[in-house]
């Protein structure tokens, strides 16, 4: 009985801890949404509130003042994020498979070469010259997709997951006369959904949150990423809120919902990622742990 009581108590404490952790994670997001739905006057008067005093969509009206531009940025960002995710996952999965085979000659040298690129890179200036002067990817949609398709860390993660698969499965496939392509596409790939889902999620979020590419390589407003477009909107808000050059601009600055606009933009950016994550959650933990424990 004492053992049973201790077990119940420990489980209750564990449940209470995770409930508290969920509250700590959820409350900031609820407050973020609440501020975005509040008026600038209420935020200035009452501060940050868990629930808005009155529903006000002024911040979202400001963000979507030109809905065509925002929707175009959504489309551009969604397109290159999905395409880059698929291409990157395919290339890295195929690159990691031969590295997981012990009979590959030069396997250690290739692995060291990939690892070396994780420690040192050419830098921003050589990358800029390569992309703009030689590859001519600037002001094209491919500038978001081609650079960074291969990530050595993800290759090693996938390779480690391959190595955790039972060797007897592959050996039996060899005995049955299967070649490497058949083994990879029909046996290995179906068994590696967890690590593929993990890498796909990380790649998608990395591309979705990319704004530096637009800063460096894109001048065409039709190719602005969502993150960069919202950053430009935020700069316009700060300009209107801080500029006191004349009475007309001052009056306009008072009406600009600067604080609530920041929160509204965070909600606009985070929305698609929150929608995508549940589809990968099933495989996320297993793929992250199994693919990163073994060296």
User: Nearest 5 degrees, angle CA 189-CA 89-CA 211?
Assistant: 160
User: What pLDDT is stored for residue 175 in this prediction?
Assistant: 83
254 falls in which pLDDT band (50, 70, 90)?
very low
- What's the pLDDT tens digit per position in 79-128? 999 999 999 999 999 999 999 888 888 888 998 998 888 888 778 888 89
Query: What is the pTM assigned to this prediction?
Result: 0.77
Query: Alpha helices, DSSP H only, in the chain?
Result: 2-36, 40-46, 58-63, 67-100, 107-119, 124-129, 152-163, 167-175, 180-183, 189-191, 193-208, 212-217, 226-242, 247-255, 258-293
Write the pLDDT tens digit of every residue in 174-225. Answer: 888 888 888 888 888 888 888 888 898 889 988 988 889 998 999 888 898 8
For the chain, which domains are there?
Answer: 25-56 (no CATH), 58-293 (1.10.3720.10)
Are 134 and 142 in contact by the 8 Å Cβ rule? The answer is no
pLDDT of residue 282: 64
């Amino acid at each position: 009985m004492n053992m049973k009581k201790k077990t119940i108590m420990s489980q209750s404490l564990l449940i209470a801890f995770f409930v508290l952790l969920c509250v700590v994670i959820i409350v900031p997001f609820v407050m973020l949404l609440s501020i975005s739905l509040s008026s600038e006057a209420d935020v200035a008067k009452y501060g940050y509130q868990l629930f808005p005093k009155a529903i006000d969509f002024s911040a979202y009206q400001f963000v979507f003042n030109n809905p065509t531009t925002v929707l175009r940025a959504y489309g551009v960002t969604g397109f290159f994020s999905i395409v880059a995710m698929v291409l990157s996952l395919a290339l890295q999965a195929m690159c990691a498979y031969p590295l997981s085979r012990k009979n590959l000659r030069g396997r250690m040298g290739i692995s060291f070469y990939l690892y070396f690129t994780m420690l040192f890179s050419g830098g921003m200036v050589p990358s800029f010259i390569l992309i703009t002067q030689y590859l001519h990817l600037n002001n094209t949609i491919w500038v978001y997709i081609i650079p960074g398709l291969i990530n050595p860390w993800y290759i090693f993660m996938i390779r480690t997951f391959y190595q955790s698969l039972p060797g007897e499965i592959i050996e039996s496939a060899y005995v049955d006369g299967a070649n490497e392509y058949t083994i990879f596409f029909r046996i290995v790939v179906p068994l590696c959904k967890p690590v593929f889902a993990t890498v796909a999620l990380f790649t998608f979020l990395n591309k979705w949150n990319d704004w530096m590419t637009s800063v460096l390589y894109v001048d065409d407003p039709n190719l602005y990423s969502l993150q960069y477009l919202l950053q430009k909107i935020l700069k316009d808000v700060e300009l209107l809120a801080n500029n006191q050059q004349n009475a007309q601009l001052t009056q306009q600055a008072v009406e600009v919902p600067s604080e609530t606009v920041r929160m509204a933009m965070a909600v606009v950016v985070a929305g698609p990622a929150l929608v995508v994550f549940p589809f990968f959650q099933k495989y996320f933990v297993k793929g992250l742990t199994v693919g990163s424990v073994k060296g």
